[in-house]
Structure 1
């Protein structure tokens, strides 16, 4: 008998241009031989980093969509959350967790709230507080430093530079909120970008030479590769390293092409790397 293919529910927006959200997560997860099943939070023509964008808010459709999944007796090996635009959408995610989390279902929360010490325009203090309600259900959480500070109600450090001791303390505090593993991404470390992993009481860092500027969708790419690795049975540490390596290759090629930052990562050239995992 053939084993059932692994599948992940993606609760995130669908953006037509700009390589972010479900638009990058679905092909990357598929390349890793895992089925990707979107539950859209919104449909956008381009992401909000462009001067103008069209947005169709999907909040009112999310519950009927999810209820139909339940009527069809669907189940998932993981639920991966991304950008959530309102408190109501976070309530829908909590409902999805209660409906679809089985004994072995992993919950990976990418708390997309801001970057470089600033929140995205849609994020209010009330919405940030609501995001914390997902933490007790998360197995893995993947904030950047801005988001980690928001989740912990801490000030963003000057110039985004944080000591190892402070990182360790933050990771312990985040883990105490529920997740067994915390991955803090995009940290400044001299000429490198650092990824900090805290898992089951142990910490490790991965440093990669900084290449160019920040690009849209990098966090979505990272979370997708980590989630697919986990449901494939690949250790989290290996999945984190693979995601960071993959993003590094994409960043180098983006610089070679001189792509605008809001065009995202040209991941298509490197998907073959993921098929080998």
Structure 2
């Protein structure tokens, strides 16, 4: 099987296994040639409370013309943290041009969790992420991000199954072809809800939650999901495998003393063989 080339457009943390630092080892382990374009350089995971961020928008603006001249192309592009509306406009335009040539676009609209935006994420990011969703073949916000993107209220207790379907339909109106909503309580059961445009089907995948917080678990989910999708596996199967991998990674590391740095993935990549 020939492996597919993927470009990661996401932030790069100097200290901690999140974003590009979490996704690169996983996708490389799958054997996919993986390239990266940092949307920001971040000193450390935001969970430490203090951090320094360098916005790389001007750098990105200069990269795309060079890549075009050199004839670089990718089978897939995965986007994550976007710093500003200006950056979103530049990246979404590039993704739209590449999608027209057959590149598959995956969008993780990283903005917040547990009902609130992350440190350093402004309300303007919501419009930026809507723009990114408009070019996505597949997007996968968590429940908090799905509420922000659709302007619907976040309820800590979660939603009913019909309300979850309504949230998926509202997200589809923004433009993505297929949609997942992660970390959403549905009738009291933590779940991933999904819509697959290939067979026009909705699905619910329940899971057991481990009451431990690590930054970067969404990025791990994204990388494992994409790794399987690039191997031409179905969306539902790929989603379940990503969920199971995240559960196993967390379970193996739940007693780690410093959880703010994320999960030390390199020691546990054989989890992906299960």
TM-score by length of 2: 0.92
Structure 1: where are the runs of 5+ without partners?
none
Equivalent residue number for residue 86 of structure 1: 84
Equivalent residue number for residue 176 of structure 2: 179
Greater Cα shift, 94-103 or 133-142: 94-103
Greater Cα shift, 244-253 or 96-105: 96-105
3-state SS in 2 of match to 1:46? coil
Give the 3 Å change call, closer, same or farther, for CA 116–177 of structure 1 in structure 2.
same
| Aligned with 1:72 (options 70, 73, 78) | 70
Equivalent residue number for residue 95 of structure 1: 93
Cα deviation 1:189-222 (Å, max 9, x = unaligned): 6886311122133222222221122320111111
Contact 1:39 1:66 in 2 (8 A): no
Contact 2:249 2:271 in 1 (8 A): no
Give the 3 Å change call, closer, same or farther, for CA 31–13 of structure 1 in structure 2.
same
Aligned pairs for 1:75-224 within 5 A: 75-157=73-155, 159-188=156-185, 193-200=190-197, 201-224=200-223
Inter-partner Cα distance in structure 2 for 1:91 and 1:273: 37
Contact 2:158 2:185 in 1 (8 A): yes
Equivalent residue number for residue 246 of structure 2: 247
Give the 3 Å change call, closer, same or farther, for CA 102–228 of structure 1 in structure 2.
farther
| Aligned with 1:62 (options 60, 63, 67) | 60
3-state SS in 1 of match to 2:46? coil
3-state SS in 1 of match to 2:195? strand
Inter-partner Cα distance in structure 2 for 1:79 and 1:209: 30
RMSD after superposition = 2.0
3-state SS in 2 of match to 1:138? coil
Aligned pairs for 1:23-38 within 5 A: 23-38=21-36
| Aligned with 1:265 (options 263, 266, 274) | 263
Give the 3 Å change call, closer, same or farther, for CA 179–122 of structure 1 in structure 2.
same
Inter-partner Cα distance in structure 1 for 2:190 and 2:214: 13
Greater Cα shift, 137-146 or 191-200: 191-200
Aligned pairs for 1:229-240 within 5 A: 229-240=228-239
TM-score by length of 1: 0.91
3-state SS in 1 of match to 2:34? strand
Contact 2:81 2:110 in 1 (8 A): yes
Q: How many residues align?
A: 272
Cα deviation 1:169-190 (Å, max 9, x = unaligned): 1111212322221111112368
Structure 2: where are the runs of 5+ without partners?
none
